[in-house]
Structure 1
Amino acid sequence: MLEYVTDPDDPRLSDYTRLRDVELRKSLEAERGLFLAEGEKVIRRAIGAGYPIRSVLTTRRWLTPLQDVLGDATVYVVSDELMSGIAGFQVHRGALASMERLPLPSVDTLLKGPARRILVLEDLVDHSNVGAIFRSAAALGVGAILLSPRCADPLYRRAVKVSMGAVFSIPYARMDDWFEGLTRLREAGYHTLALTPDQHATPMDRARLTDRVALLLGSEGDGLSSHWLQEADEAVCIPMSPDAMAAGVDSLNVVAAAAIACHGLMRATDPAQSPA
């Protein structure tokens, strides 16, 4: 159903207002149980993953490309200028969709699932970083992701956009008990690897990879907490170039480190082929 809108203050557009105000958006989206998908590809992936559409905001020239997936959804059609004014930025991908959130699985449900390789993110607060890690994880065979209580929302618009919709393809759950979280992983049969920049840790390519492995990643600034480092079965690192170390470059940012470490999880899982 098409509805043409010319007033930026039209209450029908309230799902889309002040998209750059992070705190307001987090409050509004939690209250209404929604998230925003930006661009044709991401909207298609959200719909394909089973998220119901609340409405779509777009311009005339993007109606045809999206027509086959929108069905009887309410579509607000605005001018290019009004679209930019409402969003607060140039929407290069032509459309925004307000989607209903689905209930998250419990941690226990996720741990009882088939995932043999999982990531556990501790207090990553940057939405772009979380989105980029989901994208790497999806590309490199990670089966599920666990989030600490303070970790950024994977369905926040920026995370969804950076992930190119990968947040819809990997099941994830949010921990309700950070302190005992790793105990639950161990009880579920996961060997836990704590990624650290400490070059005295086991190199990632020498880590013991059992049938079920959980890789722990820490916050952007401080890395993993001492509690999780101590509780993990093994501390692992990505070996740095000696020249880089001499020049004072002793670590990678969390997104690059996550991608390299996820790739490391892809090697043979036969214990006989993994270093002791």
Structure 2
Amino acid sequence: MSGSGPDRVLISDAADPRLADFRDLMQADGSALRRGVVIAEGVNVVQRLARSGYRIRAVVGVPAKLDALAPVLAGLGVAVYELDKWTLSDVVGFRVTRGVLAAVDRPPPVAAESLIAAGNRFVVLESINDYENLGSVFRNCAAFGVDAVLLDPRCADPLYRRSVRVSMGHVFGVGFAVLGEPWPASLGLLRGAGVRLLAMTPRPAAIALSRVAVPDRWALLLGAEGPGLSEAALAAADEWVRIPMADGVDSLNVATAGAVALAQLTG
């Protein structure tokens, strides 16, 4: 054992059954989520996870990374398995560059109504299925103090491993819920709570963000890369907003656009 954290179990056999949650992650990500297991990867991500209230099942890693995590894991009663880098890569099925992973129990779903009642600033996502974009949106939301992210039923899962990694673990700290069917009628939950719906679109009819009178309670609607928000979602919004851009450029990456908009709305 090194540092002042929990006792570690040294494992040298990649087939050890105690490592089942971490095995063959390239093939098993989806099945792990179906079993209610979330995977967090990297020291910074696991540090945020440890402070989040999510229940950690186990941590595996190389000695140096476990040393770095010892203070935040102390007292959590977490099983910690120490492996060399080659054994760790054999277990997960790819070369692990971040040196440490945690397996987490997926918490029960949160009701959108409870998040809406507790907050004032929201981001609403429609049909965003790229895990990296999704993770980046959560990281941006944490940076700009967004209270919660609400997803339509077609969005990807924010707790997928790649999304968790790209979010730098902020997905564990920003509350999220799915707005149910029928979509986008379920946006009425926000409007009924006095939240103004601001839809991001490059259309000329949209108001430049710098001219928007920011209300006390608002939700920024972001659509998928390429198609953007659907006509139905645009029709359900209270206001269309846009980022003025140079001639010949009609859009930004959705996470980038969201960050620019959030900086304006919260500045």
Q: TM-score, normalised by structure 1?
A: 0.88
Cα deviations by residue, 1:123-159 (Å, 9 ceiling, x for unpaired): 1111111111111111112111101112122221111
- Structure 2 stretches lacking a partner, 5+ long: 1-6
1:220-275 per-residue CA deviation (whole Å, 9 max, x = no partner) reads: 12111110011111111111112xx2xxx3111111101001111114xxxxxxxx
**Structure 2 match to 1:38:** 41
Runs of 4+ in 1 over 3 A off after TM superposition: none
2:227 alignment partner in structure 1: 222
Check conservation: 1:122, 1:218, Cα contact below 8 A. Answer: yes
| Residues 27-62 of structure 1: per-residue CA shift (max 9 Å, x gap) | 32222x221111222112111111111111112333
Instruction: Name the counterpart of 1:67.
Output: 70
In structure 1, the partner of 2:26 is 20
Give the aligned partner of residue 59 of structure 2.
56
Equivalent pair of 1:144/1:172 in contact (CA under 8 Å): yes
Aligned to 1:140: 144
Residue type at the aligned position of 1:237: R
Identify the residue that residue 203 of structure 2 maps to in structure 1.
198
| Alpha-carbon distance, 1:195 to partner | 0.4
Contact map agreement 2:61 2:101 (CA 8 A) in 1: yes
Distance 2:32 2:262 in 1: 34
Structure 1 gaps of 5+ residues are: 268-276
Shift of 1:73: 1.8
- Where in structure 2 are the equivalents of 1:52-201 lying within 5 Å? 52-71=55-74, 72-113=77-118, 115-177=119-181, 178-201=183-206
CA contact (8 A) 1:199 1:239 kept: no
Instruction: Indicate the SS of the match to 1:142.
Output: coil
What is the CA distance between 1:20 and its match in structure 2? 2.1
Identity value in percent: 43
Task: Report what 2:250 is aligned to.
Answer: 250
Letter of the structure 2 residue corresponding to residue 218 of structure 1: G
Q: Aligned-residue CA RMSD in angstroms? A: 1.6
Count of equivalent residues = 258
Instruction: Indicate conservation of the 8 Å contact 1:117/1:265, yes or no.
Output: no
Opposite residue 74 of structure 1, the aligned amino acid is A
How far did 1:201 drift?
1.4
